[in-house]
Amino acid sequence: MNTILLAIGECPPGACSKITRIGDWVTWVAAWAAGLAFIISGAILCWAYFGGHGSQRAMKALGGACVGSIIISAGSTLANALLV
């Protein structure tokens, strides 16, 4: 968000709080969506692994999706912490 503020210079009266609020909502939604994706990917990973339905490529892909979800969640949390 600070990058946006630096790009446009001074905020019009009342706009800075709205820009910050939008940034908070975007990072909050991204964190929750990534957390939900992690749970769903983990459930599919367990089902495929223990059910014997997954190949090695599928397991790597699901593992990568889980790692990506963790990175997005951590990034969103850090972004919210830095914006405050």
pLDDT tens column, 2-30: 555 445 566 666 667 777 777 778 878 87
CB-neighbour burial class of residue 2 (10 A; exposed 0-12, middle 13-18, buried 19+): exposed
Give CA–CA dist 73/29, Å, rounded: 10
How far the first Cα of the chain sits from its last, in Å, is: 10
Give CA–CA dist 69/51, Å, rounded: 23
83 pLDDT band, cuts 50/70/90, is: low
pTM as predicted: 0.60
Cβ–Cβ contacts within 10 Å for residue 36, how many?
12
